[in-house]
Amino acid sequence: MADRDASEPPGPAAAAELRNFLSEVPAPAAVGHRIVHGGPHLTGHTLIDARVRALLADVADLAPLHVTPALPLVDAARELLPDVPHVACFDTVFHKDLPAQARTYAVPERWRAEYGLRRYGFHGLSYSWALQRTAQALGRPVDNLQVVLVHMGGGCSACAVRNGRSVDTTMGLTPLEGLVMSRRSGSLDPGALLWLQRRHGLSTDELADALHRHSGLLGLSGTSGDTRDLVRARAEGDAAAALALATFTLSCRRGIAAMAASLDRLDALVFTGEIGEDQPEVREEICSALTVLGVRGGLLVPELEDLMREGLRRIDQAGRGVPVLVVATGETQQIAAETRRVLGM
């Protein structure tokens, strides 16, 4: 299969890049699109038509880093391939049955009923893939597993899965809540935002730009949002890099422990995402300080090439505690599976 990967968000040239790619490969039977936020009305993976496209535009401001740049590509693909079905695959679908207590914010009823303020959760396509692989690795059915899944990449979140269903997650109304991320702040005191507005006159746009693009690991280190850079810098004595990594790994441990509180037992801790795949130092620092959950350090370090080829590895020392697994990120494969399922292929 031919592929093209881009490290930057889609820009004005993306439509031309897509056109060039399609000119080089056989015509596809269908197109699957990853859409981060489905909002309140799109609660299942679905064919994209005029109604769905309008609903996507309506929720774009809930995930401005993701949905807003995705929509021009959806439009370009539909224009270039008008005779094949296009399917929207949502990260929010995995969490659509969150229990009321897990999805509800403690805010006035009007905000919840009229404005639709609630927790949605994200990284669902990654979690769907990782959950199936975990069940295979442990030789147990999905509906008999209680696990904490952790997706660590540019965005980071954790999720509690009980018997195949998401029952809690760290991200909320938007992908900004929860764990410290590469450039996103994760959770912080809402009073701090009010204080910054009132005391220092920061505008909504200034806050949004800072929290989405200049916070997280980048904001803490002042140099990079990439854990690989920070691990190297810490080894060279960079105190800001050390603080960034310590804050990040503590945030991850907090999130994992919070998710475990929604389970009766912990059958496995599962890492996925770019950091989860290829940053053994981060995995070790998280797990070695989670003994309260029965998780132990001293993790095995698989070669990244082997992990990507095999798709998963169990990395805990057998018999020493809760199983710890690494699953190669499978969002693309999950989109393909969901697209086929929607189309009955």
Q: What are phi and psi of 81, to 5 degrees?
A: -130, 70
Q: Are 164 and 131 in contact (CB under 8 A)?
A: yes
At residue 344, what are phi and psi to the nearest 5 degrees? 65, 30
Report angle CA 340, 344, 345 to the nearest 5 degrees: 55
Cα separation of 20 and 303, whole Å? Answer: 34
Distance, in Å, from the CA atom of 98 to the CA atom of 224, rounded to the nearest integer, reads 34
Active site residues: 91
Pure H helices in 236-278: 239-260, 273-278
Question: What is the rounded distance in angstroms from the CA atom of residue 58 to the CA atom of residue 75?
Answer: 15
Q: Which residue has the tokens 């000119």?
A: 23
Q: Which residues contact 48 (CB under 8 A, 6 or more apart)?
A: 33, 56, 74, 78, 86, 87, 88
Q: Which of 149, 152, 327, 125 is nearest to 225 (CA)?
A: 152
In angstroms, the CA 201 to CA 312 distance is 49
